[in-house]
Structure 1
Amino acid sequence: MSSSPGSAAAFRIPSHEPAVTECASLSCTLGEVVTEPGAVTAVVIAGLVAIVAFAYVRDAKETARRERRRVLDERDAFEEFAARVADLDPAPAELTTTAFDGSAVGVKRADRVAGSGRGGDVRLRRVLAAYRDTVMSLPHYRAEYDETIPESLAAELGPDAATSLASNGTLSTGAQSALTERSRHAATARSDLAEAIGAEIDALTDAEAELACVDRRRRRLIEHLDGVEHDRTGAAIDVWERLDDLEGECEELAAERQRALDDPPMTPDLGSGQDDDRAFYSYLYGGGDGPRFPVLAQVSELAERVRADADRVASQVSRGG
């Protein structure tokens, strides 16, 4: 995750399209199923009680928890970097020249200073070493972004950060103040992001509980029907109607999640003028193999199981119980 100066949070969003299916209503009435020749097949009701695994939601929770831990690690690293920079003695005013000016050429110049171990003021080398030992030392950071220290400074704290250091060849009072302030801003942005991810984890937990409740009732209905010895046709019709109600609950769960997607816990700045209402979920889930909208995918899977059960129950009715 990257944050740029002046924005609440800017994210590097991977390109990934969601694999989500719609949660549709039962496609036929009980009468249509009963009179459909292809539906009149032998069915063993006891075999329909398998538990839905909810893998999409559980994988999403694991992804969110892992990302939240990484974000908190980055927050701590930027806080430590800010503290180290603030503790340095700035160069005397007569040894410094420009303030932050935004020129990109300074990134390469700062790269040479960072890589050579020579040239420039010792304060500058200490700044670069502090960044290396804090932010760049995070296990995931270098592998994920594959940037040099000055490139990362430019991406996280603004392109003029590395430029000013390279232009002055030392650490001016203005550069020190700006680096400290921007690093603290980066830490605050990550705190906000970690809170938003925490809210999403809570939402996933609630969704999993609601889905589990629907699935538990679905299985109990089938188990009940399997144990009925008299008037199995009447019992099957009653179970079919209750399954229809459960699918309606699935549709409502999907609608609730859609409303939540329209009001994400954070609306990140994509940093390029883009406007994506789903940017938070793209950031969180877009880089993996799972669906971009795991709750909707999970609701769809459960609704399909409910419909399959209803079709099989209808087949039992067509056979006269």
Structure 2
Amino acid sequence: MSMYSSSANAFRIPGTDPVAMEECTALSCEVGTAATEPTVVVAAVVVGLAAFLAFAHVRDAVDAGRGERRRVLAERDAFEEFADRVDALDPAPTGSTAGGFDGSMVAIRAVDSVGSDGDVRLRRVLAAYRDTVMSVPHYREEYDETIPESLAAELGPDTAAALASNGTLSAAAQSALVGRSRQAAEARSSLADAIGEEIDALRAFESDLSGVDRRRRRLLEHLDGVSGSGADAAIDVWERLEDLERECDEIAAERQESLADPPMTPGPAVDVEGDRAFYDYLYAPTDGPRHPVLAQVSELAERIRADRDRVASRLAGGR
């Protein structure tokens, strides 16, 4: 990303030709229009200088992304462990059960009823699922599903149905459980990578916006220290603030482009749809804006416009 590179303390000194000073140039006329109360003398332009932007929207979004990435990685590890534990089990002898994943949906509920009376292999599968996938710290808060509901949602409805109708762990069921669990882990690994990419993007945008805000404050600090009318310096600051506002527009346009090309498209397990499903998945559950970068750009641009108005008022007031 391009950063605005110019010394904040190097100000252009316009010519002092009397005739030129009497002309209503495009800049001076625009400044006069921007001053909402031309007769007001602004003692200090830096009224809002101390209250620099904290970029809370972007930082909250980074925190939300980190939290979600931790949860996704915990689920990935849980599915990998579940797959390993199921893979290590001895399946039922060939021919002792019905093969394949062709049980009916009605049979899903029967999985829950398999207790001490059920086949030891199936009990071990269910215990492994409880101890891994259903034991991640956020499981109850985010899912709160029964074993058959979770198996159906994560590994396919035929998974729970087959386990229930077979009544044990067949070789075919074991192979499918292991394969689908590893697929679930891989999907979460990809999602974690995409979230990490978004976090990096957020940090980059925060760095760009912080650079703009830092130069904004330096311009105002310089102008506040100018003695006398400081008209020349004020005009130069006004122009440079306009440049910073244009830079905000460029950052917003860059973010709009990235929104149209997300790191990934969430799978059907994520209950969001549309072109920006990835960002809805990340930010819809939060208290902040759906588009934190754009909201932050808008806030900074508004601050810059307010600063330009103060500079214009200072010029109009003769300070």
TM-score norm. by structure 1 comes to 0.86
Counterpart of 1:45, as a letter, is V
Q: Report Cα offsets for 1:114-156 as digits up to 9, x if no partner.
A: xxx2332110110000000001011101221110111111100
Counterpart of 1:235, as a letter, is A
Of residues 255, 258, 262, the one that matches 1:264 is 262
Q: Is the Cα–Cα contact under 8 Å of residues 103 and 161 in structure 2 kept in the other structure?
A: yes
Counterpart of 2:214, as a letter, is R
Q: Is the Cα–Cα contact under 8 Å of residues 285 and 291 in structure 1 kept in the other structure?
A: yes
Equivalent-residue separation in structure 2 for 1:204 and 1:101 (angstroms): 46
Distance 1:275 1:152, change over 3 A: closer
Counterpart of 1:182, as a letter, is R
Residue 214 in structure 1 maps to residue 212 in structure 2: yes
In structure 2, the residue matched to 1:193 is 191
Counterpart of 1:251, as a letter, is D
Report how many aligned residue pairs link the two structures.
290
Counterpart of 2:244, as a letter, is L
Residue 92 in structure 1 maps to residue 90 in structure 2: no
Unaligned runs of 5+ in 2: 1-28
Equivalent-residue separation in structure 1 for 2:268 and 2:85 (angstroms): 29
Larger Rg belongs to: 2
Percent identity reads: 66
Distance 1:249 1:128, change over 3 A: same
Aligned-pair Cα RMSD in Å: 1.9
- Aligned partner of residue 95 in structure 2, secondary structure: helix
Q: Is the Cα–Cα contact under 8 Å of residues 43 and 315 in structure 1 kept in the other structure?
A: no
Distance 1:102 1:283, change over 3 A: farther
Q: CA deviation at 1:237?
A: 1.2
Equivalent-residue separation in structure 2 for 1:185 and 1:39 (angstroms): 70
Equivalent-residue separation in structure 1 for 2:135 and 2:99 (angstroms): 30
Q: Is the Cα–Cα contact under 8 Å of residues 103 and 164 in structure 2 kept in the other structure?
A: no
Q: CA deviation at 1:38?
A: 7.3
Counterpart of 1:46, as a letter, is V
Q: CA deviation at 1:29?
A: 3.5
Q: Is the Cα–Cα contact under 8 Å of residues 153 and 269 in structure 2 kept in the other structure?
A: no
In structure 1, the residue matched to 2:253 is 255
Counterpart of 2:93, as a letter, is P
- Aligned partner of residue 96 in structure 1, secondary structure: coil
Equivalent-residue separation in structure 1 for 2:133 and 2:261 (angstroms): 31
Residue 184 in structure 1 maps to residue 182 in structure 2: yes
Distance 1:39 1:280, change over 3 A: farther
Equivalent-residue separation in structure 1 for 2:225 and 2:232 (angstroms): 13
TM-score norm. by structure 2 comes to 0.87
More displaced stretch, 234-243 vs 100-109: 100-109
Distance 1:102 1:32, change over 3 A: farther
Distance 1:227 1:275, change over 3 A: same
Equivalent-residue separation in structure 1 for 2:65 and 2:271 (angstroms): 26
In structure 1, the residue matched to 2:55 is 54
Residue 112 in structure 1 maps to residue 113 in structure 2: yes
In structure 1, the residue matched to 2:4 is none
In structure 2, the residue matched to 1:33 is 34
Equivalent-residue separation in structure 2 for 1:86 and 1:77 (angstroms): 14
Unaligned runs of 5+ in 1: 1-27
Equivalent-residue separation in structure 1 for 2:267 and 2:261 (angstroms): 15
In structure 2, the residue matched to 1:320 is 318
- Aligned partner of residue 290 in structure 1, secondary structure: coil
- Aligned partner of residue 133 in structure 2, secondary structure: coil
More displaced stretch, 90-99 vs 302-311: 90-99
Counterpart of 1:299, as a letter, is V
